[in-house]
Structures are given as structure tokens and as C-alpha cells.
Amino acid sequence: MRVMIVGCGKVGSTIAEQLQEEENIDLTLIDIKEEKLQELGDEVDALAITGNGASINTLQEAGIKDTDVLIAVTGSDELNLLCCLIAQKASTTHTIARVRNPIYSKEIPFFKERLGVSVFINPEYAAAMEISRILRFPSAMKIDTFARGRVELIKFKVEPEFGLNGLSLSRISEKYHYDMLFCAVENGSSITIPNGDTVIHDGDLVSIVTTPRIAAEFFKRIGLKTTQVRDAMLIGGGTISYYLARMLLDMKIGVKIIEKDKARCETLCELLPKATIIWGDGTDRALLMEEGLRTAEAVVCLTDMDEENIFLSLSARKVSQAKLVAKVNRLTYNDVIDDLDLDSVVYPKYITADYILQYVRATQNSIGSNVETLYHILDNRAEALEFRIREKSAVVGVPLAQLKLKKDLLVACINRKGEIRIPRGQDTIQIQDTVIIVTTDRGLRDITDILER
């Protein structure tokens, strides 16, 4: 499969690095800056073309006629749309455009119909959506959704007051009788795809799959807060803050945004009349205290600098019991961030790369069972995927207990016409089901890939 990426900034580089790990994908990179291509060339094996991705000559030189998917992720929405339009006119390639400006959000159906753009991605909107889910359920460190929101993969930290220390997963299931599946346990650098004999300890990071209702009931039983925050302080007034504020206001959550650019504050006041907009420096601790940092229920750090977001979160932890969320762009900080006392960290570039990877895998397997949802989880060391079963295969109609599944792989959930099932050994996968798989085996494209060869 041939994939072309136009724009090799932060998003383009992350996508290229993720696709590099996939099998049978030939990459072509286009950027107007040769130095960007040279830097990325040290990490990614790809054909590099210096030029304007909206130029038909550049696209033809890069081999657009033989390209299966073109991904336009330059810093300009308009240039991305133009790249996709020209690619559509010159070939039959699938096209993906990054479009961030809220003005275009209501015009996407028009672009798809008239310009033929296959997929639109908006890293800022996707990041805001992830943060809003976390603030709805502040006890969770991370929440990924499947089956159009009917199923959630929820990550939380085991605290002493939960009374789970030293219990095996089978014992926990016997004690609480909830229809859910423990699908990952993290203890320091160790990651386990667990079974019933796996023992939980205080301080472990545990991921479960279940419905939102059952998750809320379980967390309430063990003593975790299950109600959404009542107010949120957003530090930084960029595009993510705008999208997030709009979502939180719809959830009846009070919003206060602190932004140092006066003109941006005026714009936000017009766009978000129900939010409180403060003109000031979010790194000014005295200002934050004056604006209610000590009593805020959530603090979300969304400045343009990763270092500021991390520092502000750590600083807020000293004086506040708020739910803390920090946005981080540079993924090289992962090993350091894991050791810090940060509640939740959101990586917009990871979110975007996962979405594109999901589309690419589904395109590679256009019949049978497609990847409908994909998340990299557990610090990118495992995947959670949702497959739609479209036809008969070796896994259909066979009890799960009789399938020779790969090691470190769980069939976590079956969605059958809206009925959510946490599967047991005698359950079967049927045509038209969607099936959620959690695995450390990277690169699954088809539901039959869960089987040992």
C-alpha cells in the first residue's frame, strides 16, 4: 500500500513514524522545507520530495497516480483542502485533510460531497473531546470510547482506600458481580494483559472495558468519584480551549479561560459569551490564586508550550485538589512524564495518528472485517481495536474457548445490534457484530489476525 504525507511538521512526523511500523506500507513525504525532510529521514524510511504538495507537478513527481492514500497535514487548512482536491482530480486516491478552523466544521459535508475528501481530521477538536470525557468522569486517567459511546476503556489508579490490594481479578469479579473486563494492568514499567489469577496492588494502573453505566456503579462501590466536575479553569485560550469550553458549557460545567493575548480574549468573549475570559498570564501564580485555583474542580493546561503545561499542572497539585489535565505535543517526554504526579496527559498528535492508522488499516482490508476504531494504549505499547464483522470467517460461530487466540490478546467486548456483551468462553462472534480486541500484538488488520497461525 502506498501512502503519501504532505506536510512534515509535528503531526505529519508523528503519522509517518506510526505508519513506518506497519507492514506493507510504502511512504512518500512531501514538504517545502528540505531540512524537515532530512530530520525525519533519520527516523523514517521513505521517499522524500521537496516541493509544494498543492502543485500537480510535485504530486506527479511523487507518484500520485499509484498512491492509495494521501494525507494532507500542513499548517494551512486551505492548502490541505487544495492538496486533496488536486489529488482527487489526478488520481483515484483516498484523501485525508487536517482542518482545524471552527469556521469549516459545519461545511465538512459539502467538502466531502463536492471535493471528494474521504476523511477530515481535527487534532484540536479530538483532543478537546478526550478532555471533556475525562472531566465528565474525573476519577479516570484516560477514557477511550467504542461502539459509538456504548462501551468505554477506562484507565484508573488503584488507591489504598479502594480495598483491592492483594486481590486477584477473579476474586474482584466474585466480590462485585459487575459485567466488565479487566484488560490491562500496569505496574511501573511492567504491563500485563491479565487473566483471572492476576493480582492487583495499590498503585497499579488498571484498565477496564465496560459500559458507562456499569463503570459508574463499580467506581461508586469502591469509593471513586463518579460525578462530573462543576467548574474548570482552562489555562491558554487556543483552539483546543475554544472547542473544550463549548463542550463543557453544553455539559453545564462552568468555564474560566485565562489567556495572555488581549485580542484573543476579545475573540473568545464573542465566541463564548457564557464563559468567563480573563486577560492575564497563566504562569502568574498570584493571578491563578486570585481567580480561584485553590477551589477549582478541574485545571486544564493548554498553552503552546509543553514545559509550561507540565509545570503548571505540578504547581497546581501543590495547592489544589482539582482534576489536572495537561496537553503535551512532543512525545519524547513520555518516560519523564510517566514519573510525574500528573492526573491525565493528552497527546493531540497521538490521537490524530491513531485515527489515520485506523483508516489506513480499514482501507487495506476493504471487505470482511474492517477496523472501525483504534487506540494506542499503555504508553503506545498495546492497541485496542474495534472490528466490524461483515462476512463468514474462521472466528465466526466458534465458541471463544475453542479459538486458538494469540498470546497477550483479549476479546474484550462484543456489540450485537446495540446489546453490549462482555464475552465468556462459550460466547461466539457473529456476522454484523462489532468486536473489541485488546492486544500487545501490533498491526492487526482483520479479525482473523487474532488467531495463532
Per-residue model confidence (pLDDT) at position 349 = 85
CA angle (330, 336, 338) in 5-degree steps: 100
**What integer best gives the mean pLDDT of the chain?**
91
Per-residue model confidence (pLDDT) at position 189 = 75
182-195 residue pLDDT tens:
999 998 778 889 99
**Banded pLDDT at 212 (limits 50, 70, 90):** very high
What mean pLDDT is predicted for residues 56-71? 95
Is-contact 14 350, C-beta < 8 A?
yes
What mean pLDDT is predicted for residues 440-445? 86
What mean pLDDT is predicted for residues 294-302? 96
| CB contact set of 431 (below 8 Å; sequence gap of 6+) | 389, 390, 391, 392, 396
Domains in the chain and their CATH numbers? 2-121 (3.40.50.720), 127-222 (3.30.70.1450), 231-346 (3.40.50.720), 357-450 (3.30.70.1450)
Is-contact 324 343, C-beta < 8 A?
yes
* Of the listed ranges 57-61, 109-113, 123-127, the one predicted with least confidence: 109-113
Per-residue model confidence (pLDDT) at position 105 = 78
Per-residue model confidence (pLDDT) at position 332 = 62
**Banded pLDDT at 81 (limits 50, 70, 90):** very high
Listed residue (149, 148, 222) closest to 182, CA to CA: 222
The number of C-alpha atoms within 13 Å of 307 and in the hemisphere containing its C-beta is 0
List, in sequence order, every residue forming a beta bridge with 277; answer none if it has no partner. 257
pTM of the model: 0.87
| CA–CA gap between residue 32 and residue 399 (Å, rounded) | 54
Per-residue model confidence (pLDDT) at position 42 = 83
Q: What percent of the chain has pLDDT over 70?
A: 97
Going across the sheet that includes 119-121, the strands are 47-50, 26-31, 2-6, 69-72, 94-98, 119-121
What mean pLDDT is predicted for residues 103-122? 84
Torsion of CA 42, 43, 49, 50, to 10 degrees: -60
19-50 residue pLDDT tens:
988 888 999 999 999 999 998 988 899 999 99
**Banded pLDDT at 338 (limits 50, 70, 90):** low
Per-residue model confidence (pLDDT) at position 409 = 94
Per-residue model confidence (pLDDT) at position 71 = 96
| CB contact set of 208 (below 8 Å; sequence gap of 6+) | 153, 154, 156, 180, 181, 182, 183, 215, 218
**Banded pLDDT at 453 (limits 50, 70, 90):** confident
| Confidence check: pLDDT of 365 > 70 | no
The set of cell numbers assigned to 375 is 487506540
259-288 residue pLDDT tens:
999 999 999 999 999 999 999 999 999 999
Integer Rg of the chain from CA: 23
| Confidence check: pLDDT of 331 > 60 | no
| CA–CA gap between residue 195 and residue 231 (Å, rounded) | 39
221-259 residue pLDDT tens:
998 888 899 999 999 999 999 999 999 999 999 999 999
